[in-house]
A and B are shown apart, each in its own frame.
Chain A
Amino acid sequence: MAETLSYSMPLALTGLTFAIGIRTGLFNIGSEGQVYMGALAAVAIGSASLSYAGHAHIALTLIGSALIGMLWALIPALLKVYRGVHEVLSTIMLNWTAYYITMYISSQVLVDPARPEKTLSVLESSRFSTIVPGTTLTGGIFISIATALAYYFLISRSVLGYEISLLGSGIDVARYAGVNVRKIMIYSFLLGGIASGIAGGLLVIARPPTYAIYGTLGNIWGYGFEGIGVALIGRNNPIGIILASILYGGIKNGGRFMEYYAGIDSDLVKAINGLIVISLSMPELFRILGRLVRR
């Protein structure tokens, strides 16, 4: 169970990114790249010796991750709002850009001189320690859940959240209601970027034992896209997403055991997991498609 939660920690956040996009009527699939950038920032800040910072080191690292995730999301936002570039195109391209930047920096700049297959590990002062001994579950899970709760509050109670939902239900009604469409679109991207940036940060500073990025990006890869499934299962509702991320984490975690104990080929495990996720996402997927068609 602790291991399951550990998997779900980043997924809840990347799920939020996709969900908030859909709620705005945007198909924002840029989470993956924002995760990379957030992880990169975490390594850079977390491995720097900021002795005077003390325990604030963790906070600084996460803020750095969130900020760079946000900045990375600002690019597709501006492209969309001022140049009409569709977000699917720009975010896919930026995912790859982030991928190569992270590859380069991980292997050339922030590389661990002793172990060139990974980056420097972040210092003790910016690590979350495990809360269940013998597992990889750390206090990072609380950051993840708190963020999802904050987003829930924002979406369901604030004027910003309301305007996001209005825009999501149609650009015409949003304009009629006096919503500043460009501003809200940009905010939606930025909120998404923050969540995925934090996810990237947590993957580095809250997933023992490495506390670093592998040169293959193997330990930070894929969470952005899996977030889409999580968001769909959680019906784009932050509370639902918390639950869906735990379910998804369970499936992922369980998959490992299928490999160990039943000797099932890992690709088959992935295929089975994929099937489970697709069947669970169907209702929400149909709803979204239905909305697009009606428009």
Chain B
Amino acid sequence: MDDSGGRDRPYISMRGIVKIYPDGTLALRGVDLDIYRGEILGLLGENGAGKTTLMKILSGFLRPTRGLIYIDGKEVRFRDPSDAINRGIYMVHQHFSLVPSFTVLENLCLVHGRGFLTTLKGLDLDIVREKAKKLLSVLGLDVPLDIPVENLPVGVRQRAEILKALFIGANVLILDEPTSLLTPYEAKELFRFIKELAQKGAAVIFITHRIREVIEVTDRVVVLRRGLVAGEMITRSATPEKLSELMVGGEAIVRREIATSERNILAGKPILSVRGLVVLDDLGRPVVKGVDLDLFQGEILGIAGVEGNGQSELVEAITGLRSVLKGSVILNGVDITNKTPSYIYKHGLIHIPSDRDRLALALDMKIYENVLIGLQRNPAYHHNIIPRIINWDTVKKAARELIKRFSITAESLDAKARALSGGNRQRLVIARELSKGAKVVIASNPTRGLDIASTSYVRTILRELRDRGAGVLLVSSDLDEILELSDRIAVIYDGKILGILSREEAKRVDIGLMMGGVQAS
């Protein structure tokens, strides 16, 4: 796969990059990467593959645990981002870094001449404006300079960010998942623009998990998987299938015996049925764009997809935490569209959320108090005679039972929930939710961040639930988890379900393709 044959030697080389985060996460396990002038390099990989980490190291935001960086063959060490900027390397983050209440021009002033002294000496706005205007016309970009950044549409904000990069004089531009916030039209504009930039000799590094985009815009692509380079290709000779295989790993067909016959499932009536669901995100953009799903009793329906394709909003909409713009959700024959969470729980749905520390637990409250979350209105936990007065003895008894049955390691019931380890927190959440005795379980990344023992424990419980006839909707960005547990697998991409596969027909490669936005044939 040598591609540098016809070229000069690389402008930047990263060698043997290892990154271990302070919490012990091994994010990069020895990565080599070359970057040439005038090319658009795609950096492709699933969530958590290490793309962002690698580029943060190149742009000086992080220091590598091991490994070296060379520019023009000479070793460099970056202490902070400004060192990298001085060498012309600039990274546009997934979350932008402009000051929202400042205009674009004011943001540029912040970096012009870089530092307080310029500001103190009295900064000549006109000089900055002239320089910015000239740059914009050379680049063929359109960015209003005098509007506060927070009032600009996301696409323009991103252009402003790129303008800032070039204003500083960047010639290596790193874009981290730049299209994730853009409309298709804005994305097209961005592609056109970065192609032009590369033609002018800059190097552009384009981070994405979308195979389609890699094929559309890059010259060369490096695929990361679990902190290692899984492969490297010239884009012209790459096929979506090949890239997908590199991205998710090349195992052949996944075949496993099936607990419940799928025909039986489909013969029944769905216990949860979602129709034409449209949901907006916090910024008011549609992120769930017409989803249809049926969940049957006695099955685990896995929803696979790269994070940020609408799955968290989908789950929130079903569980009553986010409003539904269009469409309907029917639970066990009852319309629960836009109903409150308590109404939905009462009708037999429980939710094991992805962000358990924020949603499912009150970390600063005591462990036994956490056992009452969502159950506080249940008269079983109230005083016999006085209504709406909690009987804490009953609650504590229930807590003790759950702790025993689910092997939760806790020093005392009176300890704060914060004192529990991650695995024990999730056990506590699951224990409590299951005690509500529901027929439909929505589990979102239920094993994220857990140790091996707790992971397999949680998975066993989900299987048991399924075997006892519950319907489990498993939303996970961990493809291995989806493949291990699901009876059927739906792939979500860009707010839509691209397809639903049964376990027998599910091939890793196909799922990987669909997760990257390519419809499987």
Cβ–Cβ contact A176 & B353, under 8 A: yes
Cβ–Cβ contact B341 & A176, under 8 A: yes
Tell me if A117 counts as interface (CB < 8 A to partner B): no
Cβ–Cβ contact A173 & B390, under 8 A: no
Cβ–Cβ contact B345 & A178, under 8 A: yes
Nearest-neighbour CB distance to chain B for A187, whole angstroms, equals 13
Cβ–Cβ contact A177 & B388, under 8 A: no
Nearest-neighbour CB distance to chain B for A148, whole angstroms, equals 18
Of the candidates A158, A162, A172, the one having the most CB atoms from chain B within 10 angstroms of its own CB is: A162
Tell me if B221 counts as interface (CB < 8 A to partner A): no
Cβ–Cβ contact A172 & B342, under 8 A: no
Instruction: Say whether, besides A169-B363, A291-B364, A177 and B389 are in contact (CB < 8 Å).
Output: no
Tell me if B361 counts as interface (CB < 8 A to partner A): yes
Cβ–Cβ contact B362 & A170, under 8 A: yes
Q: Measured between alpha carbons, how far is A165 from B365 in the docked complex, in Å?
A: 8
Tell me if B405 counts as interface (CB < 8 A to partner A): no
Contact of B358 among A163, A165, A172, A177 (CB under 8 A): A172
Q: Measured between alpha carbons, how far is A123 from B214 in the docked complex, in Å?
A: 85
The B interface is mostly helix, strand or loop, or mixed, namely loop
Q: Measured between alpha carbons, how far is A159 from B377 in the docked complex, in Å?
A: 7
Can you name the residue of chain B whose Cβ is closest to the Cβ of A165?
B365
Cβ–Cβ contact A178 & B362, under 8 A: no
Cβ–Cβ contact A173 & B358, under 8 A: yes
Nearest-neighbour CB distance to chain A for B438, whole angstroms, equals 14
Tell me if A175 counts as interface (CB < 8 A to partner B): yes
Nearest-neighbour CB distance to chain A for B278, whole angstroms, equals 21
Contact of B373 among A157, A159, A173 (CB under 8 A): A173
Cβ–Cβ contact A178 & B364, under 8 A: no
Tell me if B340 counts as interface (CB < 8 A to partner A): yes
Tell me if B35 counts as interface (CB < 8 A to partner A): no
Tell me if A186 counts as interface (CB < 8 A to partner B): no
- In the complex, chain B residues 349-380 whose Cβ is within 8 Å of any chain A Cβ: 351, 353, 355, 358-365, 369, 372-374, 376-377
Contacts of A158 in B (CB 8 A): 388-390
Tell me if A19 counts as interface (CB < 8 A to partner B): no
Cβ–Cβ contact B364 & A162, under 8 A: no
Q: Measured between alpha carbons, how far is A176 from B321 in the docked complex, in Å?
A: 7
Contacts of B340 in A (CB 8 A): 178, 180
- In the complex, chain A residues 214-252 whose Cβ is within 8 Å of any chain B Cβ: none
Contact of A160 among B345, B369, B388, B392 (CB under 8 A): B388
- In the complex, chain A residues 151-206 whose Cβ is within 8 Å of any chain B Cβ: 157-160, 162-163, 165-166, 169-170, 172-173, 175-178, 180
Cβ–Cβ contact B388 & A159, under 8 A: yes
Contacts of B365 in A (CB 8 A): 165-166, 169
Contacts of A291 in B (CB 8 A): 364
Contact of B377 among A165, A169, A172, A178 (CB under 8 A): A178
Can you name the residue of chain B whose Cβ is closest to the Cβ of A290?
B364
Contact of A176 among B364, B374, B388, B392 (CB under 8 A): B374
Q: Measured between alpha carbons, how far is A166 from B353 in the docked complex, in Å?
A: 17
Cβ–Cβ contact B321 & A175, under 8 A: yes
Q: Measured between alpha carbons, how far is A160 from B388 in the docked complex, in Å?
A: 8
Q: Measured between alpha carbons, how far is A159 from B353 in the docked complex, in Å?
A: 24
Please count how many residues in chain B sit with their CB below 8 Å of the partner chain's CB atoms.
27
- In the complex, chain B residues 374-397 whose Cβ is within 8 Å of any chain A Cβ: 374, 376-377, 382, 388-390, 392
Nearest-neighbour CB distance to chain B for A150, whole angstroms, equals 13
Contacts of A175 in B (CB 8 A): 321, 341
Of the candidates A160, A172, A175, A177, the one having the most CB atoms from chain B within 10 angstroms of its own CB is: A177
Contacts of B342 in A (CB 8 A): 178
Q: Measured between alpha carbons, how far is A175 from B322 in the docked complex, in Å?
A: 10
Q: Measured between alpha carbons, how far is A176 from B353 in the docked complex, in Å?
A: 9
Contacts of A165 in B (CB 8 A): 362, 365, 369
Of the candidates B361, B376, B392, the one having the most CB atoms from chain A within 10 angstroms of its own CB is: B376
Contact of B376 among A162, A170, A172 (CB under 8 A): A162
Nearest-neighbour CB distance to chain B for A58, whole angstroms, equals 28
Contacts of B376 in A (CB 8 A): 159, 162-163, 166, 177
Can you name the residue of chain B whose Cβ is closest to the Cβ of A157?
B389
Cβ–Cβ contact A176 & B390, under 8 A: no
Contacts of A166 in B (CB 8 A): 362, 365, 373, 376
Binary CB contact string for chain B from 73 to 104 against chain A (1 if under 8 A, 0 otherwise): 00000000000000000000000000000000
Instruction: Say whether, besides A166-B373, A176-B341, A157 and B362 are in contact (CB < 8 Å).
Output: no
Nearest-neighbour CB distance to chain A for B318, whole angstroms, equals 13
Contacts of A160 in B (CB 8 A): 388
Cβ–Cβ contact B377 & A176, under 8 A: no
Contacts of B382 in A (CB 8 A): 159
Cβ–Cβ contact B360 & A176, under 8 A: yes
Binary CB contact string for chain B from 13 to 49 against chain A (1 if under 8 A, 0 otherwise): 0000000000000000000000000000000000000
Q: Measured between alpha carbons, how far is A50 from B334 in the docked complex, in Å?
A: 58
Contacts of B390 in A (CB 8 A): 157-159, 162
Binary CB contact string for chain A from 141 to 155 against chain B (1 if under 8 A, 0 otherwise): 000000000000000
Nearest-neighbour CB distance to chain A for B416, whole angstroms, equals 10
Nearest-neighbour CB distance to chain A for B242, whole angstroms, equals 42
Q: Measured between alpha carbons, how far is A163 from B390 in the docked complex, in Å?
A: 11
Q: Measured between alpha carbons, how far is A291 from B321 in the docked complex, in Å?
A: 23
Contacts of A162 in B (CB 8 A): 369, 372, 376, 390
Of the candidates B355, B361, B373, the one having the most CB atoms from chain A within 10 angstroms of its own CB is: B373
Nearest-neighbour CB distance to chain B for A155, whole angstroms, equals 11
Binary CB contact string for chain A from 267 to 284 against chain B (1 if under 8 A, 0 otherwise): 000000000000000000
Q: Measured between alpha carbons, how far is A175 from B361 in the docked complex, in Å?
A: 11
Q: Which 6 A-B pairs have the closest CB atoms?
A: A178-B342, A169-B362, A176-B359, A177-B374, A178-B341, A177-B373
26 contacts between A and B (CB under 8 A): A157-B389, A158-B388, A158-B389, A159-B376, A159-B377, A159-B390, A162-B372, A162-B376, A165-B365, A166-B362, A166-B373, A169-B363, A169-B365, A170-B362, A172-B355, A172-B358, A173-B360, A173-B361, A173-B373, A175-B321, A176-B321, A176-B353, A176-B374, A177-B374, A178-B341, A291-B364
